[in-house]
């Protein structure tokens, strides 16, 4: 017998779970209830509507034509309730949900990981995922919320917030310098053991360092004893006394504080490039995006700026939002 009152919302959600999961058992697992409860709700829904929605047998669940039509409305109800929950959470100030961030290895290891750890404590309902990739990723096609990009943004359709600049400086262990030849000018590097970053093809093909100080440039031929496309092995080699490495300040900072590393040729730097936080355009920004940006951007800028001390080689290039 057909009735005119509205279908029960809980029964519709149970029916939606059954449609999506394909079985009463799987639907019960998703809704954290018993299989008999799902069956009871679906039967009650059929009685209320006066029609058969589901054809049952021992192997699978099939929908009638009416069931297929109702499945659309049940899905819309679930979507509406999910949106309502998000709106209420935002109104209450809760920052929640997944965030996927992509970064190159050195940023992930030395900068982002501790910043994200702080963010996770500040907003425990966030689900943060840090993907470490040294290739260019498309945040839209690869489902990323934020990317850290260096040198170029590559896509005018993306929002790009400048975070600062990275500059490389020369560092070595005090024990190495005590036993090595004198090192007072860039030209003296030709007599030293060098730990070479090969992440850029130009340095692989021609092992030279182009150093700059106060607008003066010196191109120096070097003799690498260890090469790597990652900073971590070069850092370890420098700490062990194997030679001199060019590293960003954020990579070396803790070892400078402990005395395991010391600056070489103060004021001379090798390279400088911009860093951006990149993400797809959304308006309005979800609250979790706003929380991420407000927490990460100032901290990244501060850490990157600390490696561009004007007393160590000139102010960073100018940029604006």
The domain that contains 143 carries what CATH number? 3.40.190.10
Same domain, residue pair 86 and 177: no
Residues 209, 318: Cα–Cα separation, whole Å: 24
pLDDT digits (tens, 9 = 90+) for 53-90: 998 765 677 889 998 999 999 888 888 887 776 666 55
Q: Is the pLDDT of residue 168 over 50?
A: yes
Q: Is the pLDDT of residue 203 over 60?
A: no
Q: Which of 91, 113, 133 is the last residue of a domain?
A: 91
| pTM, full prediction | 0.62
Q: Is the pLDDT of residue 183 over 80?
A: yes
Q: Is the pLDDT of residue 95 over 80?
A: yes
The reported pLDDT for the residue numbered 318 is 43
Same domain, residue pair 128 and 152: yes
Q: Which of 91, 113, 130 is the last residue of a domain?
A: 91
Tally of domains in the chain: 3
Same domain, residue pair 185 and 146: no
Q: Are 129 and 98 spatial neighbours (Cβ–Cβ below 8 Å)?
A: yes
The reported pLDDT for the residue numbered 201 is 61
Q: Domain range for residue 232?
A: 167-272
Same domain, residue pair 87 and 102: no
Residue 171 in any domain: the answer is yes
pLDDT digits (tens, 9 = 90+) for 221-254: 888 999 998 899 999 999 999 999 999 988 998 9
CA 136 to chain CA centroid, nearest Å: 13
Question: pLDDT category, 319, cuts 50, 70, 90?
Answer: very low
Residue 4 in any domain: the answer is no
Mean pLDDT of 9-31: 89
Same domain, residue pair 112 and 193: no
Around Cβ 179, how many Cβ atoms within 10 Å? 7
Same domain, residue pair 55 and 100: no
Question: pLDDT category, 316, cuts 50, 70, 90?
Answer: very low
Question: pLDDT category, 189, cuts 50, 70, 90?
Answer: very high
Same domain, residue pair 102 and 154: yes
Q: Which of 91, 109, 126 is the last residue of a domain?
A: 91
Residue 77 in any domain: the answer is yes
DSSP state of 111: I
Same domain, residue pair 72 and 53: yes
Mean pLDDT of 261-290: 87
The reported pLDDT for the residue numbered 195 is 94
Closest to 274 (Cα-Cα) out of 135, 134, 102, 149? 149
Same domain, residue pair 161 and 295: yes
The domain that contains 209 carries what CATH number? 3.40.190.290
Same domain, residue pair 162 and 279: yes
């Amino acid at each position: 017998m057909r009735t005119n009152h509205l279908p029960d919302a809980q029964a519709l959600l149970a029916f939606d779970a059954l449609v999506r999961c394909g079985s009463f058992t799987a639907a019960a697992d998703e809704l954290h209830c018993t299989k008999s409860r799902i069956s009871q709700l679906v039967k009650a829904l059929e009685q209320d509507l006066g029609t058969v929605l589901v054809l049952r047998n021992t192997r699978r669940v099939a929908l009638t034509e009416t069931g297929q039509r109702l499945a659309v409305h049940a899905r819309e109800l679930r979507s509406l309730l999910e949106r309502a929950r998000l709106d209420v959470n935002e109104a209450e100030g809760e920052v929640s949900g997944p965030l996927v961030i992509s970064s190159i290895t050195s940023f992930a290891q030395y900068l982002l990981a501790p910043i994200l750890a702080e963010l996770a404590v500040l907003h425990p309902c966030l689900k943060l995922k840090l993907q470490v990739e040294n290739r260019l990723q498309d945040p839209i096609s690869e489902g990323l919320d934020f990317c850290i990009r260096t040198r170029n943004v590559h896509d005018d359709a993306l929002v790009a917030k400048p975070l600062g600049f990275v500059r490389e400086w020369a560092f070595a262990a005090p024990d190495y310098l005590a036993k090595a030849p004198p090192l007072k000018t860039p030209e003296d590097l030709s007599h030293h053991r060098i730990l070479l970053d090969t992440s850029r093809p130009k340095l692989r093909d021609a092992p030279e360092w182009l150093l700059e100080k106060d607008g003066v440039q010196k191109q120096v031929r070097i003799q690498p004893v260890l090469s790597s496309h990652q900073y971590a092995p070069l850092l370890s080699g420098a700490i062990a006394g194997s030679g001199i490495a060019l590293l960003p300040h954020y990579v070396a900072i803790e070892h400078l504080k402990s005395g395991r590393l010391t600056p070489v040729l103060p004021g001379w730097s090798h390279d400088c490039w911009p860093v951006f936080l990149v993400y797809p355009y959304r308006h309005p920004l979800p609250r979790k995006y706003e929380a991420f940006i407000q927490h990460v951007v100032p901290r990244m800028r501060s850490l990157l700026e600390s490696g561009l001390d004007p007393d160590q080689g000139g102010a960073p290039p100018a940029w604006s939002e």
